Amino acid sequence: MPLVKVNGINLYYEIYGKGQPLVCVAGFTGDHNGWQLVIPYLQENYQVIIFDNRGIGKSDCPDGPYTVEMMAEDTIGLIQALQLDPVHLLGNSMGGSIAQVIALRQPQLVKSLVLANSFMQPHGRLLLHARNRLELMQQNVPAEIMLRYLLLWVYSSNYLGQPGVVEALVQAALANPCNISIKGYAAQLHALVNFDSRAWLDKIQVPCLVIAADDDLLAYPKEALNMADRIKGAKYFCFADVGHLPQLECPQDFSRLVLNFFMTL
């Protein structure tokens, strides 16, 4: 099992393909499996690195609380340990928060930045959802019920309305050995709640693509557009009829968008 020791913990990672390195950073409670559908497209021309953040999956789950800055240092440690720099950096949701910190603190490590369905500060609806979910976990709500609740937040209405999609998503999630523990969830939640890049986002200088989706309940398109306006030269794209995880709802279109952005650099 590929592990690298950074900041006193073991991080699990996988590498696919060859070429310029592309590091994919998962969001709040997300594990490396969340990138599997885009790997076939991205690995054709890039070396794709996916990994588990601290607190989830096959990486260590040290005592919390965590911060986004702490998780950014983990990712920086991974990049340096694997001698990958400079890298294309792709972060979804809170993974985009982690990527923002890296681009600010270590711009020499970042060839380009893709912020997918991310934010400068989590809004009230996202925070209420995240806190409610922790309470449900602490009450030992059955996993299948929890998953059906979660699907409402992360996928679009159109996607969930397709025949068989809900059951397929539930069964795949139940079979995932990397689901987060209560300990890891609470530690990552602290990082999410306390993130705020509004005061410094405009200091990011690396080439950037900001991605949004118009049926995303957790990261609003208007927030993404505001982010793109604040980062000098940033490009912006919004998916139609897609939710919080376009890399899973429309992996081919998502990959094409990212690859086309790389080709402009």
Instruction: List, for residues 157-178, the tens digit of each pLDDT value.
Output: 999 999 999 999 999 999 998 8
Inform me whether the pLDDT recorded for 85 exceeds 90. no
Give tens-digit pLDDT for 43-56: 999 999 999 999 99
CATH class of 3-263: alpha beta
Do residues 24 and 75 make contact, with C-beta atoms less than 8 angstroms apart?
Answer: no
Tokens of 252: 């081919």
Minimal CA–CA distance to 206: which of 85, 106, 116?
A: 106
Q: Structure pTM?
A: 0.97
Phi, psi at 176, each rounded to 5° = -75, 120
Q: How confident is the model at residue 198 (pLDDT cuts 50, 70, 90)?
A: very high
The beta-strand segments (E) located in the chain are 3-6, 9-16, 20-25, 46-51, 87-92, 110-116, 208-213, 235-239
For residue 49, the cross-strand partners are 15, 23
Q: Where exactly are the structural domains of the chain?
A: 3-263
